[in-house]
């Protein structure tokens, strides 16, 4: 599916005033890939996108596009197009004129432009909107026009800066499928910026988790979700139990005083680690069958599952289960060995900085 390197960011650093937004960032993006830059606000994801688009210049480092150094090129000289968060349609033009903007600049023929407008409107399911004005469109429609306006220029890469951020939940979900379909139909590279982990997991081929100007982890959605490399990634992607623990030996970890079998090796003997256990990976069993015992302290019905807090070994465990255990009931906690994800304790200061509200 994904091909050769198309964009290569080499050692990018960007400083605003005294605030280092990106610090020696290295990242490559393959042809035909749906890559998502994911992170909390201020993590540098939007700055990264703006550097690729040419709206910001890095203080140091290089942007290589298709084998050429484009670091110094201005946005209009780059073969990529951007979809902005607030659509940024030209309010003094009709929809057709908006879509035609880039093509008219490139002095394409009238027939070509008209064909392209028709094609693009069909692609985003807005046939017949040629003579409407942007003001008369809903947010979702405006965003689709913004996408149409970008893709008629046949860019090799489409940059999307939180394009669904301003839309309501239902529309956002519809647009996610729409974007996947578009990407497959166009066969181009999408670089997508979002703070919404669900959006990232749904659409991406590759997720880049960022925090405080550093890349925390790069990988497929499955890999990021199932094998987070550090506590920040585990905490940011989905809900999780992150607990201090001690690696007794290979394949055995001591969590809160109880020994759990796991599948990880190579962490040494009696070394401190962090473990991540996803709430849906915790099995609630009869008290005598569990590795540790606990008591249910709260219960919330979430639709697909119940969300329960279990107090066990002086720790509150977050559990998702389709089985109901009433508040106050004694339960046993058991976890499959391969559902326990072991992570090294952060050593450097940079990594330390990423730990978020640990319990």
Partner 1 sequence: MKSRKWLSFPYIIWMAIFIIIPLLMVIYYGLTTKDGTFTLDNLFLIADPINRNALWLSIKLSVISTLICLVLAYPLALILNSMKLKNNSFIILIFILPMWMNFLLRTIAWQNILENTGVLNTLLKFLHLPTLELINTPAAIVFGMVYNFLPFMILPIYNVLIKISDDTINAARDLGANYFQTFLKIILPLSFPGIISGITMVFVPSLTTFVISTILGGSKVVLIGNVIEQQFKMINNWHTGSGLSLVLMVFILISMAILAKYDKEAEGKSVW
List interacting residues with partner 1 (CB under 8 A). Answer: 53-55, 74-76, 81-82, 84-86, 88-94, 97, 101-102, 104-106, 133, 146, 149-150, 153
Q: In 10 A of CB 217, how many CB atoms?
A: 21
194: helix, strand or coil: strand
The CA–CA distances, whole Å, from 241 to 93, 208, 228, 319, 332 equal: 52, 22, 12, 9, 16
Burial class, 136, CB count within 10 angstroms (exposed 0-12 / middle 13-18 / buried 19+): exposed
What's the rounded Cα separation, in Å, for the pair 311 and 308? 10
- Residue 241: CA count within 13 A, CB half-sphere: 25
**DSSP codes joined into one string, 130-143:** TT--GGGS-HHHHH
Buried b (16+ CB within 10 A) or exposed e, 272-306: ebbbbbbbbbbbbeeeeebbbbbebeebeeeeebb
Pick between residue 102 and residue 228 the one whose CB is nearest to partner 1: 102
Judge whether 350 and 237 are in contact, CB under 8 Å.
no
Judge whether 37 and 210 are in contact, CB under 8 Å.
yes
CB of 188 to partner 1, least distance (A): 15
Pick between residue 85 and residue 254 the one whose CB is nearest to partner 1: 85
Pick between residue 99 and residue 201 the one whose CB is nearest to partner 1: 99
Pick between residue 105 and residue 263 the one whose CB is nearest to partner 1: 105
Pick between residue 97 and residue 330 the one whose CB is nearest to partner 1: 97
What's the rounded Cα separation, in Å, for the pair 34 and 199? 12
Pick between residue 89 and residue 342 the one whose CB is nearest to partner 1: 89
Residue 181 C-alpha from the chain's centroid: 18
CB of 6 to partner 1, least distance (A): 18
Residue among 15, 9, 46 at smallest CA distance from 27: 9
CB of 101 to partner 1, least distance (A): 5
CB of 164 to partner 1, least distance (A): 16
Pick between residue 86 and residue 345 the one whose CB is nearest to partner 1: 86
Pick between residue 163 and residue 219 the one whose CB is nearest to partner 1: 163
Pick between residue 56 and residue 227 the one whose CB is nearest to partner 1: 56
Helix (H) / strand (E) containing 82:
strand 80-83
CB of 102 to partner 1, least distance (A): 4
- Tokens representing residue 271 in the block: 């070394």
CB of 203 to partner 1, least distance (A): 22
CB of 334 to partner 1, least distance (A): 52
CB of 237 to partner 1, least distance (A): 29
CB of 144 to partner 1, least distance (A): 15
């Amino acid at each position: 599916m994904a091909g050769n390197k198309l964009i290569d960011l080499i050692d990018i650093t960007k400083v605003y005033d005294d605030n280092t937004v990106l610090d020696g960032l290295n990242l490559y993006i393959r042809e035909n890939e749906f890559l998502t830059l994911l992170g909390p606000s201020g993590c540098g994801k939007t700055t990264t996108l703006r550097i690729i688009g040419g709206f910001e210049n890095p203080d140091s480092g290089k942007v290589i596009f298709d084998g050429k150094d484009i670091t110094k090129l201005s946005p209009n000289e780059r073969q990529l197009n951007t979809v902005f968060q607030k659509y940024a349609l030209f309010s003094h033009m009709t929809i057709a004129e908006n879509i035609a903007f880039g093509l008219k600049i490139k002095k394409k023929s009238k027939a070509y432009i008209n064909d392209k407008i028709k094609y693009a409107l069909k692609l985003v399911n807005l046939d017949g909107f040629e003579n409407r004005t942007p003001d008369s469109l809903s947010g979702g429609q405006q965003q689709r026009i913004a996408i149409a306006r970008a893709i008629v220029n046949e860019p090799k890469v489409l940059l999307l800066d939180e394009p669904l951020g301003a839309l309501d939940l239902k529309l956002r979900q519809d647009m996610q499928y729409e974007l996947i379909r578009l990407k497959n139909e166009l066969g181009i590279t999408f670089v997508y910026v979002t703070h919404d982990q669900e959006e990232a997991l749904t659409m991406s081929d590759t997720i880049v988790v960022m925090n405080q100007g550093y890349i925390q982890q790069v990988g497929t959605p499955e890999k990021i979700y199932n094998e987070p490399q550090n506590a920040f990634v585990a905490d940011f992607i989905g809900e999780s139990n992150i607990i201090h623990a001690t690696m007794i030996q290979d394949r055995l970890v001591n969590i809160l005083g109880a020994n759990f079998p796991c599948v990880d090796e190579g962490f040494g003997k009696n070394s401190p680690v962090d473990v991540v256990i996803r709430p849906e990976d915790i099995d609630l069993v009869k008290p005598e069958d569990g590795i540790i015992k606990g008591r249910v302290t709260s219960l919330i019905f979430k639709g697909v599952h119940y969300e329960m807090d279990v107090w066990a070994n002086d720790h509150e465990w977050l559990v998702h289960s389709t089985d109901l255990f009433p508040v106050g009931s004694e339960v046993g906690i058991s976890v499959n060995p391969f559902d326990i994800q072991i992570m090294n304790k952060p050593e450097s200061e940079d990594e330390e900085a990423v730990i978020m509200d640990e319990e």
